[in-house]
Chain A
Amino acid sequence: SQQGEEDPQALSIQEGENATMNCSYKTSINNLQWYRQNSGRGLVHLILIRSNEREKHSGRLRVTLDTSKKSSSLLITASRAADTASYFCATDAGSARQLTFGSGTQLTVLP
């Protein structure tokens, strides 16, 4: 079952614009992670934010986490055509550390 739900399901922007994707989840978590997947490929880990953190940056990526609202957002600044991919949030909620993924946001960056 999917714990996280991403919003929007699809997003199309022009190169240079910022892209914001949101994720909501249902249970308490240890951390939340964002992954990128190019078509037909495996997932690439982008960034991890722990439950006691509120914001984290990595290059052009900015992630926020609001545990009271059980939501997270991923901001990609100054987008590039190469950022075109599906983006998934994943929650780590248990001792087994299995991740539960959302259904993803398909981002298209137009040149």
Chain B
Amino acid sequence: DTGVSQDPRHKITKRGQNVTFRCDPISEHNRLYWYRQTLGQGPEFLTYFQNEAQLEKSRLLSDRFSAERPKGSFSTLEIQRTEQGDSAMYLCASSPVRTGAGYTFGSGTRLTVV
């Protein structure tokens, strides 16, 4: 297991279309996070899973966004009816439960809505 994998790396979609991103975390990490990052800014928290349970969602996560982590392994983030403002880098990270451990981030999925 070499790290957190995200797929696809890049996605260009037309406004109004639905998109789905996938994240495969480090297998022994119980916690999985989704962040969004726009140009020149730091990542902003979207949602967090411990195993298969979605424990927290940001107010940034409108009803067009949904995330799942079936069986506590990989996770998907779906954006319905995409808008130009959704254009950003979507980052996934995982971490173990123990305190004092940093996150391991994936390389991200860059979404462009045209």
Contact = CB atoms under 8 A, between A and B. Distances in A.
Interface of A: 1-2, 4, 30-31, 33, 35, 40-45, 48, 50, 88, 90, 96-104
A97 B31 contact: yes
Contacts of A104: 40-42
A42 B102 contact: no
B42 A88 contact: yes
Given A2-B44, A42-B106, A90-B42, 14 more contacts: A33-B103, A40-B108, A40-B110, A42-B107, A43-B91, A43-B93, A50-B100, A88-B42, A96-B48, A98-B45, A98-B48, A101-B43, A103-B40, A104-B42
B102 A48 contact: yes
- Chain B interface residue number, banded: 20 to 34
A104 B35 CA distance: 15
A9 to B, nearest CB: 9
B21 interface: no
Contacts of B102: 33, 35, 45, 48
Nearest to B92: A42
Interface string B5-44: 0100000000000000000000000010101000011111
